[in-house]
Structure 1
């Protein structure tokens, strides 16, 4: 079985495109591996087969915000923009879990975009989907209160796990685009009201309905 069989849209491309892709070798990366830094030239198009890559931006003040995560079937907008427009990376990408991915070099990426309509459609559709998510993020950061973003994120994380959520306050701050001190104060206030229980690197949701109300800006 080749790695293409793990990537359904790519495995349905024309034979010539599949032949180019099949010659690439997947990489196994541990959690915490850095894929790129701001200012680096874009090396290629990352195709995530398993795991997750978090792409974040750090401002001059040192505050960090999670722009998006790349999981199987999704694209990295930073890489696509760099490959198509020639710009360098402006964000940092780090694997959040053990991750398997394939890196399609720049020259092969551009050749496939030029010669394979199917590949071109996959790339631009993924790019459009990611841009839509980025617009949603911009809207939330600009117009939604921090407590609403925090409640929404906690509810989303709770839906992917059982028991307490394993996450630090600094990580939560990055994911909702705020400062760790702000997140700490909000969690403390919610703990006093019985909405959550916090521990060292964990948050347990005790009143999901209350957080749902906050996330929807109903209270």
Structure 2
């Protein structure tokens, strides 16, 4: 579990949906944990990461309002446990649909079923893009895309080199070397605990490059 993080311990489930709210940093699920139900977000973002046997982490995807967590969907449909970790990246608000209720809605409610299947299809499309990024895209392009995606309105990226390594499925040392090159090229400015984007157009050109 992430140090200092809250832990989501579900109450006894009923066959009814219930409102939920979790603060930023709450661990919603971990490898080996049974699924407490489907979370339908109204507000916030869940970051889902996978940790390899060697300790290296990679961000699989993020779940925002209207999105589907494939880990949760697989656990609910197949009755297995989680293999990744889900953490509240921001404060969360939403609704929890217990497993029994999820299965009933999937069988009897066409609108709910269409919503679920559409969200799952969109998520698989994102998985394909992740594989393409890792297997077919040069690292600098991948890193540039992550910096552009994480930058706020002022160009600040509040992420350490270790966090950027997790986002790009790479090692921290390699990220540090490439960030130093980008800083020398005037694309970014490295700061304590993060990065400032100086040349967004330059990063966009790199992000558009292939191998």
Residue 69 of structure 1 corresponds to: 62
Give the number of aligned pairs: 198
Residue 189 of structure 2 corresponds to: 197
Residue 46 of structure 1 corresponds to: 39
Residue 214 of structure 1 corresponds to: 206
Residue 175 of structure 2 corresponds to: 183
User: Which protein has the bigger helix share?
Assistant: 1
TM normalised by structure 2 equals 0.88
Q: Judging changes above 3 Å, is the alpha-carbon distance between structure 1 residues 88 and 137 closer, same or farther for their aligned structure 2 residues? A: same
Residue 86 of structure 1 corresponds to: 79
- Would you say 1:113 and 2:106 are equivalent positions? yes
Counterpart-to-counterpart distance in 2, 1:162 and 1:24 = 39
TM normalised by structure 1 equals 0.85
Q: Which runs of 5+ in 1 are unaligned?
A: 1-19
Counterpart-to-counterpart distance in 2, 1:43 and 1:188 = 44
Q: Tell me the CA shift for residue 139 of structure 1.
A: 1.3
3-state SS of paired residue (1:178): coil
Q: Tell me the CA shift for residue 85 of structure 1.
A: 1.7
Residue 27 of structure 2 corresponds to: 34
1:110-144 deviation per Cα after TM superposition (whole angstroms, max 9, x unaligned): 00001111111111110111011011101111111
Counterpart-to-counterpart distance in 1, 2:210 and 2:203 = 10
Which of 49, 52, 55 is equivalent to 1:56? Answer: 49
- Identify the range of structure 1 (178-187 vs 163-172) with the bigger mean alpha-carbon deviation: 163-172
Residue 123 of structure 1 corresponds to: 116
3-state SS of paired residue (1:41): coil
Check conservation: 2:43, 2:94, Cα contact below 8 A. yes
